[in-house]
Structure 1
Amino acid sequence: MATKRKETDRRRAVTRAGIKRPTDTGESIGDIAAKLAANAGAARKHAAGAVVKLALKDIRVATKVFQWRNPGMVPSDDHIFEMAKATQNTGALEPILVMPVADKYYVMDGHHRLAAYKTAGWKGDIPAIVFSGTLDEAIREALRRNTKNKLPMTTKERTEATWELVKLGKPGEWPDSIAETRELTGAGKGTVNRMREAWTKLHSGQYEGIAGLSWRQAIAKLDGKEQQAFDEASWLEERAQNLANDIERAKLHLSKNPEITALALEMLDPGLPAELMAHWEPRRPFDPAQVDEDNEPF
């Protein structure tokens, strides 16, 4: 009876409000490339394509390199929640895909599964498939799997993914053909051509800091609007103020009964409450020296 009670208590610990995500290292493609170069002669611990069991502390997340979705978009919370519950009912999930870098493994595909393990307080090893290709191949494989994932990428994510692929090349030396880029991201031929033309102009104009530009920022720079470049924070604040004004004019008292407000928002859009909670949730900066009680650097 005592064992059954402990099992019940453990399952109740998983809640939608308790979603946890592994902390992002913040590393760039250049950072990963440097680590691979520094360890070029090191022998592989595992055979390519092998299904291995990894400790959570040895798995890293670098969203700038391998996560093509906007990490702030969270209809994924329900997905993570269901998978976290599944770990308690059936054990480990399907293997994630990882790339070995030095003595760690970076997630290429399986970010939501890793979050589910974290949310469930998983104590065991995590099954993973070891990727054997180059960093460029790994980046494209991560995108390929994202576009085929059950959680579809948004139009904005697809646009930025196309732009990031274009920026991986140099004018006249594109690593992917137009057809390959379209297959990976779902972008139109005209979009790919416009982005290639923009990237070529940015290079020929010797602009500074072009590698970090979003597609919208690149357009603004080419239009000579560097001083008036799109400011997403200001745009969001302006739109939010307009919405607040509309709510006030309609005399909708959202704050008097938070429970009614929450239910109403859920009726309008079932995923909105989860998105709002994720937006307000503080995210910790990555600290490789910091470990929790499970000796996990998350």
Structure 2
Amino acid sequence: MEKIAAKLSASAGGAGKHAAAGAVVELALDDICVAEEVFQWKNPGMVPSDDHIFDLAKATQNTGALDPILVLPVADKYYVMDGHHRLAAYITAKWRGTIPAIVFSGSLNEAIREALRSNNKNKLSMTTKDRMEAAWWFVKQGKPGAWPDSISEIQEMCGVGKGTVNRMRDAWTKLHNGQYEDFEDLSWRQAQAKLEGKEKQAFDEDSWLEKRAQNLADDIERAKLHLSKNPEITALALERLDPGLPAQLMALWQPRGSFDPTQVDEDNEPF
């Protein structure tokens, strides 16, 4: 963020050379930059990204260019705000043409918030953990009593409840007012552990996951749901609870390696 902010500040006088906000421009690949830690809010380990990129890459042979990506002009480059998978698909397909992009006009803070809104609406939905960490990040941008984003704005951007934002604000206030060191970079889970006095214990995520998984398994067993009796019904029920859950489970159970373009049958998959 600091590097992008510095570039924006240094190039403020030359902003007029870029297309107007909302305009669709054709960009060369070399003109496009990626800063996933700033604009990509999804946890890449929780969505079938390789499959999605592969499908998008194949689509280029039938439809040509994909839907425009969203970019922020920074100096003489354009940073991807939304469309990371589409950009990866162009690279995978060895795309030789220009890449259509919609120009965003606004401050870096506005661009970060717009990127989150776009991620939230994307078909590869954000996980609950992604949403919680995004909300926590926005809370951490302010100080107790001086919040840059309202509760309703964080709710709308991150898809979390009002109570969650209130708890996060309360936690951030306690961290600020207490005798805590190096708390600025804590994740939401780490912040909760610190406030509960567990910060001296090394957090064992595997043990935590095992414990929570066992608790859920016990709840299912007590409810006598018999999930394995009819897998088709179970799959349909899970999809109704959360349309994105089956894809997330498949990504965890059947991880796929990175797409290797050298393994594609070029007679059937002409990129």
Place the TM-score, normalised by the shorter chain, in its bin. Answer: 0.7 to 0.9
| CA distance, structure 2, for counterparts of residue 159 and residue 201 of structure 1 | 18
Give the secondary structure class of the aligned counterpart of 1:31.
helix
Cα separation, partners in 2 of 1:224 and 1:44, compared to 1, 3 Å: farther
Amino acid at match of 1:74: V
The Cα offsets for residues 212-265 of structure 1, whole Å up to 9 and x where unpaired, read as 2110111122223332142447767x89xx9xxxxxxxxxxxxxxxxxxxxxxx
| CA distance, structure 2, for counterparts of residue 122 and residue 204 of structure 1 | 53
Is the 8 Å Cα contact of residues 99 and 105 (structure 1) preserved in structure 2? yes
Q: Aligned ranges for residues 143-292 of structure 1 at < 5 Å?
A: 143-205=116-178, 207-232=180-205, 270-272=250-252, 275=255, 277=257
Give the secondary structure class of the aligned counterpart of 1:187.
coil
- Please state how far the C-alpha of 1:179 moved relative to its aligned partner: 1.2
The Cα offsets for residues 22-60 of structure 1, whole Å up to 9 and x where unpaired, read as xxxxxxx22322222222222333222211111112211
1:42 aligns with 2:14: yes
| CA distance, structure 2, for counterparts of residue 133 and residue 158 of structure 1 | 23
State the match for 2:262 in structure 1: none
Give the secondary structure class of the aligned counterpart of 1:172.
coil
| CA distance, structure 2, for counterparts of residue 87 and residue 30 of structure 1 | 35
Amino acid at match of 1:166: V
Cα separation, partners in 2 of 1:109 and 1:217, compared to 1, 3 Å: same
Name the TM-score, length of structure 2 as normaliser: 0.74
Is the 8 Å Cα contact of residues 46 and 252 (structure 2) preserved in structure 1? no
Give the secondary structure class of the aligned counterpart of 1:127.
strand
Give the secondary structure class of the aligned counterpart of 1:99.
strand
| CA distance, structure 2, for counterparts of residue 103 and residue 208 of structure 1 | 39
State the match for 1:106 in structure 2: 79
Kindly tell me the number of residue pairs found equivalent between the two proteins: 223
Root-mean-square deviation over aligned CA pairs? 2.4
Q: Aligned ranges for residues 30-109 of structure 1 at < 5 Å?
A: 30-47=2-19, 48-109=21-82
Is the 8 Å Cα contact of residues 181 and 187 (structure 1) preserved in structure 2? yes
- Please state how far the C-alpha of 1:125 moved relative to its aligned partner: 1.1
State the match for 1:252 in structure 2: none
Return 190-199 or 171-180, whichever deviates more.
171-180
Is the 8 Å Cα contact of residues 71 and 104 (structure 2) preserved in structure 1? yes
Unmatched segments (≥5 aa) in structure 1: 1-28, 243-268, 282-298
Unmatched segments (≥5 aa) in structure 2: 215-248, 260-271
Return 207-216 or 118-127, whichever deviates more.
207-216
| CA distance, structure 2, for counterparts of residue 229 and residue 165 of structure 1 | 26
| CA distance, structure 2, for counterparts of residue 273 and residue 188 of structure 1 | 30
| CA distance, structure 2, for counterparts of residue 206 and residue 103 of structure 1 | 45
Is the 8 Å Cα contact of residues 46 and 127 (structure 2) preserved in structure 1? no
| CA distance, structure 1, for counterparts of residue 199 and residue 6 of structure 2 | 31
Name the TM-score, length of structure 1 as normaliser: 0.68
Percent identity of paired positions between Structure 1 and Structure 2: 73
Give the secondary structure class of the aligned counterpart of 1:44.
helix
Return 157-166 or 224-233, whichever deviates more.
224-233
